[in-house]
Structure formats: structure tokens, C-alpha cells
Structure 1
Amino acid sequence: MRIVILALDGVFDTGLAVTLDALSAANGLAARMTGGTPRFQVSTVGVRKRVRSGQGFAIPVQAIDPDVKPDWVIVPAIGATTPEKLLPALERTDVKQALRQLQQWHAEGVMIAASCIGTFLLAEAGLLDHRQATTTWSLAPLFRQRYPLVALDETRMLVPTDIGVTAGAALGHLDLALWLIRKASPELAALVSRYLLADIRTLQAPYIIPNHLAQADPLIQRFERWARDHLKEGFSLQEAANALATSARSLQRRCNEVLGKSPLAYFQDLRVERAQSLLHGSGLGIEAIAAEVGYDDGATLRTLLRQRLGRGVRDLRAELR
């Protein structure tokens, strides 16, 4: 499998390094297993002759060879972690060049993968329109508003589509690399994950911080504060709207635009976050915790935690032992 990694100025050091290390480990282990040639031919290319990482290290890149058609192109994140840094970065000349190159690769049938903020480049190039995708959860509100044609689900760690695959935040680069290795050999991917002490994670949901997402919009911020004060009570959209001096329709629409979910779903996110905190540090039983976050019984809370986080109460309690 021929893989090209497209590195841009300010590339996220860890993302690039962990991708290269995982693929290198796969090649080394494959050679030990079979004695054959490496499974992956990996090259790092740039649209500029000189590329520096986000930490200022020089990245040795090759020029893009128009005569070489890769099987996969990987787009690591650039280290622009806030809207104030990312939006100007998307207007850079080298980024515009990269977008055109991605469009050309796509037109040639090359599969394209991106992690974290690298997914913004795919969306900016129009490659994710009318397709499902994930991205770094912390910038999901910006992604959703900038690319309304993309079916975003930031709770997922990996989203494969017909054009390639998108992956989640930061160390989602490792999940992406393991996914690609598994495409070539599930046995090899299992071996690499054991050597690196890493497994493919299916969800970003356990890592999402609802308060961070709320900061993307003043109305959502106010709704979040109101919701935290009313977690013990049954949720009423109309009561929330009245308290915020807005209409139920406006609150519903704004939640969908910014968060990609209903006010009730976000209210439940806050309940899950609070329940997690109590499971880790309060010593309360599940029935008492359920009452603290507005549920009549522990069974309902158990079901919600498993649905949202992919883990049960016992696993969540064990995390901090």
C-alpha cells in the first residue's frame, strides 16, 4: 500500500510522529512475521520545499510527484487549535495549494484520510459535502457552522466513507493509522496495537466537555448555565426558553446549528457529565447519583451511560482506581 502524508507548515508534531511511528512499526513487525517486503510504502510530501512543525522542527518533505499515484493520502492536523488561529490558517497560500492537490488526488481516485483539524482541509476542499464525517470535538461547533453540507458526528472517533476516512481529535491520528493498518491486515493491526499499548477507539463521546462546546455561542452558554442549575428536575423546553427570554423554536434551532443536537440531548449530556463526576469522586451509589441528575432510578442512568459512553458503571468507576 502506497501512502503519502501531506505535511503543511505548523503540522501537529505528535499527530505526524505517531502516524509515521505506527506505520513504521507495522512494517517492522510485518517483516518479522513474513520476512517479506514492507506492507506500506510511506513518504512525507509538502507543497513547499521547507516545512516546519508546530514546535518549530524542520520536517524533511519530498516534492509531490505527479507521476506517482498513491493508494492513500493522509492529512495530519495543523496546530491551529482555536477558531482565531484556524480561520486565518485556512486562507494561507500553502493551504490553498494543498486543497487543490487534495481535489486532484480525489479526482484520480486516491483515498484520503484526515485526523483532527486535518478534517477541516477535506471539508474546505468540498470533499466531505453530503457525506458523514467526524472532527476534533472541541471545534465541532465551528465545523458544523462552516460546513453545513457535511453530516458531522463528533461523538465518533472514526468515520469511513466512499472517499476515505476522517478521525477525531489529537491522538485520533493513532486510531487512524491503526485503522489503515487493519485495512491491510487485521492480524498486523492487532500486533501493532499491542506493541504500542493502543487500541482503536470507536467513540470520542467520553472525552467531550459540554462546557467547552457551549462557549461557541452566547445563547448556548446561557442555556448551559440554566441546565446545570436544573439537572435534578424534569426537562422542559418551554421553561428553558422562558428563562432565557427566547422562544422554544429559537432555542431548538440554535442548539441544532451549534451543537448538532436538540436541547434535551444536550441537557442529557450535562447529566451524563455530572453522573461521571459523581461516580469518580462522591462514593454515592448509583441510585443516589441517579437522583442527583434527575432520574427516578439507577437503571435508567445505567442505560444512558452505556449508550453515550460505551461503558457501564463498573468500568467507569474502575477508571480512577
Structure 2
Amino acid sequence: MKTQLLITGSSGFVGRQLIQHLQGHSDYNVRALVRRMPDVLVTGVDYAVLPDFSAVTVEGPALQGVDVVVHLASRVHVMNDTESDPLEAFRRVNVGYTLQLARSAVAAGVKRFIFVSSVKVNGEQTALGRPYSETDIPSPVDPYGVSKMEAEDALRELAAQTGLEVVIVRPVLVYGPGVKANFANMMKWLKKGVPLPFGAITNQRSLVALDNLVSFILTCVSHPAAAHQTFLISDGEDVSTTQLLIRLGKSMGSPARLIPVPEWLLVLGATILGRKALSQRLCGSLQVDITKCQQLLGWAPIVTLDEGLDATAQHYLGEQTQ
């Protein structure tokens, strides 16, 4: 018998890839929660149209027959939040609505609830060579990270009360075809051949390719040992910002033109310009240990970092020629 999945956030960056990967899959029936019917329908996918995931109720059709919920939808991290109380805004959606969905799932007989959280629950930065692990005490810094931590705690409490199998996945920065924000900006700079002052950065950062994250989520859907566990997920290969730009430039056919500006000077300049957070992402380290994913679930990345960068670059270049 096929497993019935309900996927929230199905129109987002990760959700779209997950839906495409599941198209025609012999082991799953897929129901995608959407705000409006997409222009292009994926064959074999059942679409449930609701204003947002907070509108899912036990009486409604979205949860009927569902075995596993993959909860991707959330109020996402933004650089310049215009909310007067950002923490309350994040809590309302990422904690309140998530717990409401999970309670409805319990009432509907759902067996497993996969919550895609964030490495920001652990914190913003690691000491070089000392990656985060699942046993570390959470130390979120911003409202988004705090809300994700509180959602995790609420789901674990619900699981203890009801037996719902909660699985928590904390990805690092996700990249892949269609990636936006800073990663897309890097590709734009490289394509234009802009000289960049990032030639002497010695940090180490974990990334996760979209294909690897989707593969891991699907492993968590079916693997018995994933129940009631928390996982940090990455490609398993860390790179410095300098190395990333060099390798991404190679994937794009646009060799990176990097100037070896000392890290301390980059940080100072960014701080003066009010971009200290950006300098932290460019110069600071953020590594995760995926040993638990590998040993407990027998999972391994399905694409290498270079393969993921190649796919990302080729998609970007293809978009530029349209």
C-alpha cells in the first residue's frame, strides 16, 4: 500500500523539488497544500487549496488518509524585517500555526510529522573545525531561529503526549537550481567578472544541495529509526567562501577574480557600512556534523558539492539566455 504524504510549502524552493522528485513514485501518493492552483500541474499530485497551512483542519480534505506530513511552510528569515515585533510574527506562524497543524494531524490519525527547521536553532557561527551536532544546546540568535526552536520544543511535547512520530530536520544553507538571495548574487558577480575582495577567507561553511536535502527528507519519511529524532544535514563537504567562489566560478565557466583582502579589513568595512551580519556569513564558519544521518539512517549525499554547484550554475545560465 502506498504511503499518503501531505506536503506544506509545496510551491517553495524545497517543496517544488520534492514534488518533482515524487512524480510517479511507486511508493507514495502525494497531496500538495497550495494557496492557489499552480499554472502547471504535476501529474499524479493531488492539490489541496487553502489560504495557508493554518487552515488545515481534521474535518477538511487535506489530512484525509494522510500517513506522513512533511512540513516545509514557515515564515522565513528576512534580512530587513518590517514587523514592529518580528519575534511575535515568527511565533504566530512558525510556532502557533505549526502546532495547530500537528494537533490536527494527530486527530486525523497521521503517523509521522517531519518538521523542516533550521541550523539557526543551533546558532549562527561555529569555531573553525568544531561543527554543530544534534547534542549541542540550542543557541538561536535571531527571532527566526528562536521561533524554530520553540516549534521544535512544542512538537516534541506533543509527540510525548500523543505518540506522533516527530522528525526534525535542520538544514544549513540550501542551494540548487533556482536559488535566490546571496547565492544568486554570487553567480551574478561571477558572470559579470566583477573583482571580489574575497580571496583570502579561511573559514569553513557547510552547505546542502537541494537534491541532497530532498533525498534526506524522503529517507526520514520511511526510515523507522528516524522517529523522534533530530538531524543536522549538509553535503558532508565544507568549504571556505574563497573556495566556494572558485568552484562556483568553474561551474559557470567564469573564473572567479578574487582579491586577497585580509578578513579583518573586510569585517571592519562591513561593520562601518552597517553590514556586519553579511560579513559574518562571508567570513565566519558554520559547520555541521552529519555523522548521525549516516550512521543511524544509513544515508549518504546523492550528489557531491561540485555536482550541486554545476546544476545550480547551469540553471542560472540557462535563465540568463531566455
Higher relative contact order (CA 8 A, sep 6+): 2
Greater helix fraction, Structure 1 or Structure 2: 1
TM-score (normalizing by structure 1): 0.36
TM-score (normalizing by structure 2): 0.36
